[in-house]
């Protein structure tokens, strides 16, 4: 695990600029709002969250963290952007979400402070924005209790994802702000599975997430060639 701060200041600044629009379902983060019920449903189908303590790493404005808390879990969201965390906290107050808290701390620092303290960990759309994603995976492995689940989502590094997730989503459809994704930082499923195995996690399930620009609908399937999620477990 990386002990120096595993963060890219330019990435954090870009997300900070989007903070004010985070909770606008039609705004710049609308794609996260649209995929949220799908990813939450998949997580709940494998690991019913009610009554669990759940950590959301790279939580942003808390779209998933808030939904996790509303599933009946005690949720903690962590991020390194002060502005997006402030937005997350304001939203929790405004929406009166119970059992949710936010902290500005890296996954690596929290793992050193409170190892094996969460029943489940989620880390969505974050790994492709850090210099050392393997270190974040390893921190997530350290943070989850034995037998607990960790859920990752990211974007595959493939010619198809360059066309769909960067050129299409950022420059043609304006679904995601331009410059959000850098091709070289995208992560193949085999690479992410390798990071998980190195961290002692057992890869259990994968899911693809597809988008139809004509119907403007997302759905889950087995196609991991662009957006995908991995569900992994820490052995008991
Ligand atoms: C695309 S957003 C995803 C937000 C949230 N996980 C979701 O899917 O709704 C990426 C988030 O990762 C955060 N981030 C980037 N680098 C980070 C780091 N090193 N540690 C913690 N959070 C980080 C950004 O500030 C941003 O909020």
Q: Is 51 exposed, middle or buried (CB count within 10 Å of its CB: 0-12, 13-18, 19+)?
A: exposed
- Atom 14 of ligand 1, nearest CA residue: 58
pLDDT band at 183 (very low <50, low <70, confident <90, very high): confident
CA distance 6 to 158: 25
Q: Provide the pLDDT confidence category of residue 169 given band limits of 50, 70 and 90.
A: low
Report, at the CATH architecture level, how domain 9-233 is classified.
3-Layer(aba) Sandwich (3.40)
Residue 122 alpha carbon to ligand 1 centre in Å: 11
Of all protein residues, the one whose alpha carbon is nearest to atom 1 of ligand 1 is 125
Does the annotation list 175 as a binding residue?
Answer: no
* For the chain, domain boundaries: 9-233
Flag whether pLDDT at 3 surpasses 70: no
Q: What global pTM score does this model have? A: 0.94
Centre of ligand 1 from the C-alpha of residue 163, in Å: 23
Candidates 204, 211, 197, 212; CA nearest to 229 is 204
Query: Interface pTM (ipTM) of the complex?
Result: 0.99
Residue pLDDT, tens place only, 48-105: 999 999 999 999 999 999 999 999 999 999 999 999 999 999 999 999 999 999 999 9
Cα(98) to centroid(ligand 1), Å: 22
pLDDT score of 96: 97
- Give me the torsion for CA of 141, 144, 149, 153, rounded to 10°: -50
* 58 annotated as belonging to a binding site for a ligand: yes
Nearest-CA residue for atom 23 of ligand 1: 58
DSSP-assigned letter for residue 73: -
Pocket, ligand 1, Cβ cutoff 6 A? 6-7, 11-12, 15, 32, 58-60, 63-64, 79-81, 84, 106, 124-126, 129-130
Spatial distance between the Cα atoms of 119 and 143, rounded to a whole number of angstroms: 9
Mean of pLDDT over the chain: 93
Q: Ligand 1 centre from 212 Cα, in Å?
A: 25
Please state the three-class secondary structure of 103-171 as a single string: EECCHHHHHHHCCCCEEEEEEECCHHHCCCHHHHHHHHHHHEEEEEEEEEEEECCCHHHHHHHHHHHHH
Per-residue model confidence as pLDDT tens digits over 93-152: 999 999 999 999 999 999 999 999 999 999 999 999 999 999 999 999 999 999 999 999
């Amino acid at each position: 695990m990386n002990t120096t701060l595993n963060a890219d200041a330019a990435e954090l600044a870009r997300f900070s600029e989007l903070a004010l629009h985070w909770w606008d379902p039609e705004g710049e983060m609308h794609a996260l709002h649209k995929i949220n019920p799908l990813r939450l449903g998949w997580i709940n189908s494998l690991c019913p969250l009610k009554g669990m303590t759940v950590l959301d790493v790279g939580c942003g404005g808390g779209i998933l963290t808030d939904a996790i808390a509303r599933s009946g879990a005690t949720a903690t969201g962590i991020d390194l952007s002060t502005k997006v965390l402030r937005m997350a906290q304001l939203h929790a107050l405004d929406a009166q979400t119970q059992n949710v808290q936010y902290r500005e701390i890296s996954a690596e620092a929290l793992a050193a402070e409170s190892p094996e303290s969460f029943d489940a960990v989620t880390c969505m759309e974050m790994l492709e924005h850090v210099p050392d994603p393997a270190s974040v995976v390893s921190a997530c492995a350290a943070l989850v209790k034995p037998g607990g689940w960790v859920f990752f989502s990211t974007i595959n590094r493939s010619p198809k994802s360059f066309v769909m997730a960067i050129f299409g989503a950022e420059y043609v459809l304006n679904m995601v702000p331009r410059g959000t994704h850098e091709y070289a930082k995208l992560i193949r499923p085999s690479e992410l599975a390798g990071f998980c195995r190195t961290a002692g996690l057992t890869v259990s399930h994968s899911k693809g997430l597809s988008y139809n620009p004509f119907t403007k609908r997302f759905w889950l399937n087995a196609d991991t060639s662009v957006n995908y999620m991995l569900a992994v477990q820490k052995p008991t």
